[in-house]
């Protein structure tokens, strides 16, 4: 059996599940939201629509025109978490944070479930990008390795082609070049192996 006011009903209460003090924390969060914004956090066309919204929809952020302090807004959002384990676990802790806001004392930041989901999604996206990049790089390197690989038969054929393009010098050419070099050297000697001296006219 479901008992309670739909405008302030916790998700577990709307589902007719077991409830504890954390259900009251949620209802108090709805009341604070109504007091600060002037309208309930969820309001449907019917009671069932309103109860469904409490179970499945995220509460809308406060309008910036309302100038609700960030710390106070965090307290309201934390009190209205869908999962009881994510809320304030008792009214004493919630009340302590409200007193800090009233006195101007810094309130400890309490992570919200939606923030954790957003962070996790960002990590997943970054991780997916890095993994995808590494896979594409590995594939690219593998393709380059396949294209650049040379089989022993292909290497032998390349060596033969290189040799055909630059054939070794023939023995006749080498002998001729040696004879030319020797002739050039003998031009500086006479027939008896002595160096020839040029006569200079006075």
CATH of the domain at 34: 1.10.510.10
Domain ends where: 110, 135, 150? 110
Pair (17, 67) in one structural domain: yes
Domain ends where: 90, 110, 130? 110
Pair (64, 74) in one structural domain: yes
Pair (22, 93) in one structural domain: yes
pLDDT of residue 202: 43
- In the chain (202 residues long), the average pLDDT of successive 10-residue segments reads 80 94 96 96 94 94 96 97 96 97 94 70 58 72 67 66 60 55 54 49 44
Pair (26, 74) in one structural domain: yes
Pair (46, 90) in one structural domain: yes
Structural domain contains residue 100: yes
Give the single-character DSSP code of 12.
H
* Other C-beta atoms lying within 10 Å of the C-beta of residue 73: 16
Strands, E assignment, the chain: none
Structural domain contains residue 158: yes
Pair (20, 106) in one structural domain: yes
* Other C-beta atoms lying within 10 Å of the C-beta of residue 194: 8
pLDDT of residue 116: 65
pLDDT of residue 124: 57
What is the domain range of residue 128? 111-166
* Other C-beta atoms lying within 10 Å of the C-beta of residue 173: 10
pLDDT of residue 172: 55
pLDDT of residue 160: 73
Pair (27, 38) in one structural domain: yes
pLDDT of residue 30: 97
pLDDT of residue 188: 53
Pair (21, 105) in one structural domain: yes
Torsion angles phi and psi, residue 50, rounded to 5: -65, -40
Q: Count how many domains the chain has.
A: 2
Pair (116, 81) in one structural domain: no
């Amino acid at each position: 059996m479901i008992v309670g006011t739909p405008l302030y009903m916790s998700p577990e209460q709307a589902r007719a599940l077991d409830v504890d003090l954390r259900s009251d924390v949620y209802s108090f969060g709805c009341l604070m939201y109504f007091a600060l914004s002037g309208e309930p956090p969820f309001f449907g066309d019917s009671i069932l629509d309103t109860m469904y919204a409490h179970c499945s929809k995220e509460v809308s952020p406060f309008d910036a025109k309302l100038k609700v302090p960030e710390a106070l807004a965090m307290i309201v959002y934390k009190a209205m978490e869908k999962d009881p384990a994510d809320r304030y676990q008792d009214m004493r802790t919630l009340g302590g944070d409200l007193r800090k806001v009233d006195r101007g004392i810094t309130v400890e930041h309490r992570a919200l479930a939606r923030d954790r989901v957003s962070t996790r999604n960002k990590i997943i996206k970054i991780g997916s990008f890095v993994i995808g990049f590494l896979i594409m790089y590995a594939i690219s390197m593998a393709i380059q390795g396949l294209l650049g690989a040379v089989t022993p038969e292909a290497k032998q054929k390349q060596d033969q082609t290189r040799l055909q393009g630059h054939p070794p010098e023939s023995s006749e050419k080498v002998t001729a070049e040696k004879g030319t070099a020797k002739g050039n050297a003998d031009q500086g000697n006479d027939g008896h192996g002595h160096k020839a001296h040029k006569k200079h006219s006075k």
